[in-house]
Each structure stands twice: as structure tokens, then as C-alpha cells.
Structure 1
Amino acid sequence: METTSSIYIAGHRGMVGGAIKRHLEQQGYTNLICRTSDELDLRNQQAVEDFFATEKPEYVFFAAAKVGGIMANNTYRADFLYENLIMETNVIHAAYKYEVTKLLFLGSSCIYPKFAPQPLKEEYLLTGPLEQTNEPYAIAKIAGIKLCETYRDQYGCDFISAMPTNLYGIGDNYHPNNSHVLPALIRRFHEAKEKNKPIVTIWGTGTPMREFLYSEDLAEACVYLMNHYSERELVNIGTGEDLSIKDLALLIKKTVGYQGALEFDTTKPDGTPRKLMDVSKLHNIGWRHKTDLNDGIELAYRDFLKKKFAIR
């Protein structure tokens, strides 16, 4: 990409898209195209066609998605499948039709089988059953990967796919029911601290292992891949390091300054036992993460404190 290239960031108001936008601006890119969901409904095929016909972006970062934690994924199963599928098909087909130079599609580590060997290598895709609680979302993301692959195969489109691990950071979703585990724990511990609650309850057993990547690091990786990677196969983006949900909770508890106790509600689902990315391919391409989890949680908590009144 040139600093003057026209670049469309789909989902620029979300955590991922916002991080990509900030990183591009910091690197001197000046021709960024952004639309809110009110301005451009990516579920509307005609609206997407009209946008691409008018704006003719050269590069597309596809970070728009309907996302949520275990509860949201398991409750709104049809919505997660339908809305993500239709956004992907509309944007990827329009990118082909209007001759976008390059597109980066962002998926999720949940695309991998529930009991895949660890760490998760890119070639493990479609080698076993998915985790049931987020199967619809995972299927939609797998479809996006396959769209990029098949448009490359049939039409020669330079469409690439990247699969981030669990993300957190600036602009995260702290909704009490529909957020992911790390931001949900930040909010839960903060509110318990404010209300002097003696115990914080955490879903599941606390034993599942998870990997976490700071949003600003992901943004840097995405721009790096857009400039340095043009292959058919997907690429994992992560740290290659994980910890248990219990240890994550203890780390967040310390950062927030909560003094009470923890309990685990074992009637609630754990999800996949472990999701650790094999990031050797990404390292070989030339990129590594920079933000330590301790530092990243501190930065995320500061961001939460800035917006806590807005999310009540």
C-alpha cells in the first residue's frame, strides 16, 4: 500500500477496525474510507454495490462482524450465522466485482475444531467438529475464508485471511452479557470493587486455557500482512502464549485492585478446553507481538475507566 492509496476499513468503529484505523493514521496513510453501519448497512447487497462502485477502494480491511461472548453466541445463533454470512458475501463479491487490489479478511480462532491438537496450526481447519456454543459464528467465518480462497482460485483476486486469537484493548465491548471473557471480567471486578461485594462469580471451572492479543498489536499485524503477505492460506495472529481463565481472573483482580474472593460456577459452560495459536508462520513472515498481557490489561482497564459511565 502507498500512503495515498484508498483504503476502506469495514467496521472502523469496533475495537479491531478502530485499532487498524489508528495504526494507519499513525503510519501516515491519508486516504481512509470509513462508513458507520447507519451510513452503510453491509447486510444490504445493493448498498454495498453502490458504495464500491462510487468509492472504488484499492484496499479493504474487513473487520466488520457481529460478535459476542459465549452467551451471545449461544443465544443468537441464527443472527450470528446469517448476519456474518451476508456481510462477507456482499463485501467480498463487491471487492472482486469492482477490482479491489487487495482484501484482508479477519476471522477468529473459533474456526478450529474443539479438540484440535495444540497449538492450533492453520492446516487444522475443517479437521473435526466445532465447539457447539459458537458453531454458527465459526461456520460464518470459515465461509469467509473459503470465499477468499475461491475468489483467488477462480478470479485471481489477492484476497487473504488472518485468524486472530482472543482480542482485548481500546474500544472493547464491556456489555454485562454479550462481551468476551477478558472485558467481562474487567467490568465484573470493577463493579464488585465499587459495591464492596465479597465474592465475584466466574463462569465455568476456570481451567480452560486462553491466549490474548492486544488490539493495537493486531492492527499492526494486519497492516504488516497487507503489505507483506499474498498467499492463499490463512495466517494465525497471536502471541503463542496462554494462561488459564483462573489465572487471567487473578491477574485482572490484581490490576483492578479488588480485594474479595473468587468462586467458579461450574453449571456454566467452559467452551473449548484450550485455544493456543501456532504463530510460527506469522513469525516467519516477520511479525511478532509487542504488548505483554500485564501491560495490555492495565491499558484496557484505563480505557474502561474512561468510558464506564457511557456503558451503564
Structure 2
Amino acid sequence: MPDFGLFYKEWKQNKALLAIIILVSMLSNPFTVLNTYISYQGCVTHQDEWVGTCVFSINYLNGTFISVFWIWGVVLAISQLGIERSKGFFDFILSLPYTRGQIFNAKFLTGGMVIVGPQLIGYVLSVFLILLLNPEKVIHFHHLSIGMIFISLMAYSLVMAAGALTGNIFSQLLVSFTVAILPFLLIALPAGNLEIVFGQNAAVLNTEIPDWFRYIIPIMFVVPEWVMDSEHYLFFPIAWSVIFYIIGYISFVKLSNDRNGYFFLWKALDRPVQVIVIIIGILGFGYFGYAASESFAGYLLGMAAGAVIGFFISYFAIYKKTKHL
């Protein structure tokens, strides 16, 4: 368990951001209920001017701010790792009389409590408001409110893990986004290229994909339409949160800080990741080249362009060191 002094340090360094996240996360859910009730009362007061009847119903899928709470997890993780590393604070932090594991856990627990606690309080307050105001219909309330807690924690864990692996803010964000769509890159992109090369005869294309499979992709939870599907799919953000925490913890404890500013803190990752980026560039641009031209020549031209673009992007991103802010 981290020392109290580490929690205090996290609060002092990020208190403005933490306070904003706490207030917004706590009040947004009850505000949704109150705002809908006020609109309903306005309808009742000016019923002669409105067309139709006034119905007090709450649909959390339409215009609900809590559906983007995952953004706070991203911003907080960048502040705790990416910004601190870019400003050169980590040499001081790692010199404190604490283990690396304690430092990471203090950061993660602080962020986790700030993300989960206020949202849970806001959910409970909203339950009381709904019971008090008694709307005729409440749609997707429990599913979306509870689900966003897990999804926000998943987003936070992902960006924290990326920050523990990388040496600057740009690489932290790029790795986070890549991992968020990685199942698509590893499965759908090769499958699309197989379809171009072999046509519909490719065996993998004839395999029926179950509905739950798309929720393996973390970025699918960014769009709130997931709330219309089974609540059992929330298992995936929970599982991803645990996996990302483990990756982040091990990376923070094991990797040295002397490559601060480079894309990866672990030099052994540079070349394999560059090769993967080039392959993805080849497959991605090849697919879009074929889609644009509907010809195999366009496919080959796209692959060539993807190889060149993938090489230069990976080379300048991975091997160019950034300076402290």
C-alpha cells in the first residue's frame, strides 16, 4: 500500500484537474435528471404553446454528458505520466524514498478513486432524484451509469499503461489509440486484404463472427450505442482494466527512465514496433487503394505508398527524441 505522502503529492500536483473531475463526475448525472425535469415543467407551464402532450421521460442515450466520461480518464492519465515525464519531474519523483511500485500504485489508486468514486456518488444521487421526481419512463439509466464507470476506468488504465511504456505525451497517446483499435488491426485489416487477394474463397471470411466479438475492441465503447446491447459485454472493459493495470505496473517498475523523451522506454521495442507499423501501413493503404480504384493496380500502388509512409512515420516517431517542456 502506498504511503500517504505519495497520495498527497499526487493531489498537490494535479489538484485543479482532480477537483474538476470530481465535481463534473459527481454532478453531471443528477443534472441530467434535473434538467429533464425542468424541461418537462416548462412544457407543462406553456402547454398551450406546445404541440402534443408533455411526458416526463429520461433517455440516457440522448444528449447525456456522462457518455463521454472516458475522456476524463484519458486526460488524468496524461497529466499523471505524460506531462510529468515531459516536464522532467520523474527524476525527482523516482529519487523519493519509495519503491517504483508504490509510486505507480499511488498514481493509479488516486486516479481510480477520482474516476470511480464521484461517478458512483452521482449515480446514487440520481437514483434518489428519480425516486423523488417519479418520471414516467427512464431508459438506459442503470446500464449507462454503471457501464461508464467501468469504461472510464478502462480508458484511464489504458493510457496509464501506455504512459508507463513510453517517453513522451505524443507516444503515450499514439500507443493508447493503437491499442484501442488493435483487435481490428490484427483481424479485420488482414481479413480485408485476404478478400482482395483470394476473393470470397478465403476460409477466414466464411467464418461467422459472434455479436460479442466486436466488444473485444476497446474503442467500441467510445460510442454509447453499446448500451443497447447486453450488460454482460461490460465484462470486457473490466477485463481490459485489469490487463492494462498489470502491463502498466510491470512497465513502470521494470523499465528505466534514462530513455526519457524517446518513443519507448524499452529500446528492444523500437524495431519490432517499426516493422508492425510498416506492415499495418502496407495493409491499410493497400486496402483503401483498392477500394478507391477497384483495381489490383490501385491495391499495389496503395501498398507501396503505405510502406513508404509507414517507414517515415515510424522512423521519425520512434527514433526522434523529444525535449522536456
Asked which structure has the greater CA Rg, the reply is: 2
Compare the two structures and name the one with the higher strand fraction.
Answer: 1
TM-score (normalizing by structure 2): 0.32
TM-score (normalizing by structure 1): 0.33
